[in-house]
Structure 1
């Protein structure tokens, strides 16, 4: 379709949907569908790659910033559907670290939009407050200017008491940066391997001068290392009275959580990395949706998109993505999850029946054998 035809089609659709009778019928139908969806399984964590704002603006011959504004309007409608349906966590890819490579004009415009929209979202009585959702900003704070940081802090402060749902705004973010931050947090917590530490402690018990050397080395390393969020307590020889048996390290992670547990390198696992991601306290990612027809994740939620995550690529631009695109996806997810749960239940029943029959046979044979012996 040509750009002029696209604009005409969009205008016609918006005009038609804004007619009072059509709008009333549409709302009633939405409520009925959402009510039906709530009777079955609902994804607890949904993520969106909101792609296509710029292309939509070019196709519609409007300013790029206007395309982003229309994208925000689409987001507000989708968030309302999510929270009405019972989704607990929504994660949106608002701004990639790679987007700083765009023109300064567009980057500045996006930052201005972010300030305005964060303020609108977090205002008392608005969307997030109605549904008890708090804003969390996931990303590299040091890359944005102070005005945007102030807007971020205000938004998180105003919604921090909401506890029914979460809106994760990835801004500025890439999954590689998130995983790197997680690894840095883990390294800050990691102790020498258990066998190596036990060897040092054994030597320290046998030779007091080794203990002194350990203390001296620890003091030197603390004095020489630059200041950071990670601090080390004095190394303590195992068995000392009223002291821990291993050096303690305090770490403040991205979410501001204090950790004082020491971590052995042998204990690091996939779960360890998961627990240090920005989304550590969120439910697993159930559904990831990307608009614009592009079929890639673009460095978004790479770790979280596991084997149980449904990924949907939708062939429309984000400003065009509406409830009639979204509800069928939710319905399809619910049907697949019901089918999966039914298969799991049948498999469990088959296992139970097999085990039950085997046990009955074993009991009969055991009984017959005992009778023969007597």
Structure 2
């Protein structure tokens, strides 16, 4: 079983609480701000890295609780762009941990497919080291056809960076004539975000007692239910998550009403954009809406295709890196083997390790040692 897919036997009180909550509305999408790893490590007089390891373990348990509850999508704030401002040692530790865990995922593809787990990466991948960036692409491609549950990992992510990237894509498209200014609507910007494939989070949980979103899913969580708890992330239990779901159920009607209102507002924006286009160009008439939809569909299709090509290019890069590592390892083993000199003389047998790349030099060393041995 993959370390990402843990199984637990529920106690009778836990099972009963799960069944009671499942009678009410369950969030489809849960977002997590995993705060408190460093404080947890400090509290237990451990290195910061151990706090992040404990935090990952908690994430695996939360994923198991979500499966039991019927929550099909989880987005985890794994690494903020702001985290790169921390000490070099901590940043390298975080990146190393991420790389190790992604390697585990790559070795457990069959098991993830069995459970239908699809892993997506959201964030500015250009900020990640080459090898980690290539690993993320391979994980995305490997699990893309799994459709039972979804795990979105926010790596090198901030909401401001995400929105900036979306606006940049639209601005470039306008300058190239692929879009018109009136095509830019909130709905179009949403389709340009890293999370375009996901529904908006229904519930956002933040641990450690902080009551802010820290630049996480600012656009997507405008109509989400927020739940803040004082417990540190590694200490989060199933009861905290069940409490958060109960909190969501109490406010579910408000969330639904707000989203319906937002949908009506988005529809109005697009209608006004089409009317503005008709006023600017009376000849377009009723075809203005159709023309806009065609432009937008082509633009989004092109954006998706370019992102797909990036993933495939990175995946190919990962294979090349692993091939080079394998060849390097074999070369080292070969050099190590060729550098062993076996000498048999009157004093018995000796095996001496020498670092010799030139075979002729190796032979001279062996002859010299034979003379000394005899």
TM-score of the alignment, normalized to the shorter chain, above 0.5: yes
The answer to whether the 8 Å contact 1:121/1:127 transfers is no
CA drift of 1:27 comes to 3.3
Larger RCO (CA within 8 A; separation ≥ 6)? 1
Contact 1:122–1:129 (Cα < 8 Å) also in 2: no
Query: Per-residue deviation at 1:129?
Result: 4.2
1:292 aligns with 2:208: yes
Q: Which residue of the partner structure matches residue 225 of structure 2?
A: 310
Structural mapping, 1:85-164, within 5 Å:
85-121=69-105, 123-124=107-108, 128-129=112-113, 131-164=115-148
RMSD between aligned alpha carbons? 2.5
Counterparts of residues 1-374 of structure 1 (less than 5 Å): 26-121=10-105, 123-124=107-108, 128-129=112-113, 131-190=115-174, 262-306=178-222, 308-337=223-252
Query: Alpha carbons of 1:91 and 1:126: their partners in 2 closer, same or farther (altered >3 Å)?
Result: farther
**SS in structure 2 of the partner of residue 294 of structure 1:** coil
Distance 2:13 2:234 in 1: 21
In the aligned structure 2, how far is the partner of 1:47 from the partner of 1:340? 15
Cα shift readout 1:276-321 (whole Å, capped 9, x = no counterpart): 1111121122111111101111111111111x31111110110001
Asked if structure 1 preserves the Cα contact closer than 8 Å seen for 2:33 and 2:205, the reply is: yes
Q: Is the 8 A contact 2:227 2:247 kept in 1?
A: no
- Secondary structure of 2:23's aligned partner: coil
Q: Following the alignment from structure 2 to structure 1, what is the Cα–Cα distance between the partners of residues 220 and 256?
A: 21
Residues 88 and 327 (structure 1 numbering): CA distance in 2 closer, same or farther, change over 3 Å? same
Q: CA deviation at 1:59?
A: 0.9
Shift of residue 120, structure 1, vs aligned partner: 3.0
> Residue 341 and residue 137 in structure 1: after superposition, are their counterparts in 2 closer, same or farther (change >3 A)?
closer
> What are the ranges of 5 or more consecutive residues in structure 2 without an aligned counterpart?
1-7, 260-374
- On the 8 A contact 1:80/1:127 being kept in 2, the answer is no
Alpha-carbon distance between aligned partners in 2 of 1:59 and 1:108, rounded to the nearest angstrom = 22
Whether the aligned pair in 2 keeps the contact of 1:289 and 1:311 (CA below 8 Å) is yes
Name the SS for the 2:11 alignment partner. helix
Give the equivalent residue in structure 2 for 1:219: none
Write the distance in 2 (CA, Å) between the matches of 1:140 and 1:314. 29
CA distance in 2, matches of 1:140, 1:156: 15
Unaligned runs of 5+ in 1: 1-22, 192-231, 233-246, 248-261, 345-374
Segment of structure 1 superposing worse, 295-304 or 111-120: 111-120
What is the SS of the residue equivalent to 2:46? coil
8 Å Cα contact 1:45-1:89 kept in structure 2: yes
Q: Is the 8 A contact 2:28 2:70 kept in 1?
A: yes
Distance 2:254 2:129 in 1: 48
Distance 1:75 1:337, change over 3 A: same
| SS of equivalent to 1:94 | strand
CA–CA distance in 2 between the matches of 1:36 and 1:57? Answer: 35
Q: What SS does the aligned partner of 2:251 have?
A: helix
Q: In the aligned structure 1, how far is the partner of 2:120 from the partner of 2:255? A: 32
Equivalences, count: 252
In the superposition, the TM-score normalised over structure 2's length comes to 0.62
- How far the C-alpha of 1:127 sits from its partner, in A, is 7.7
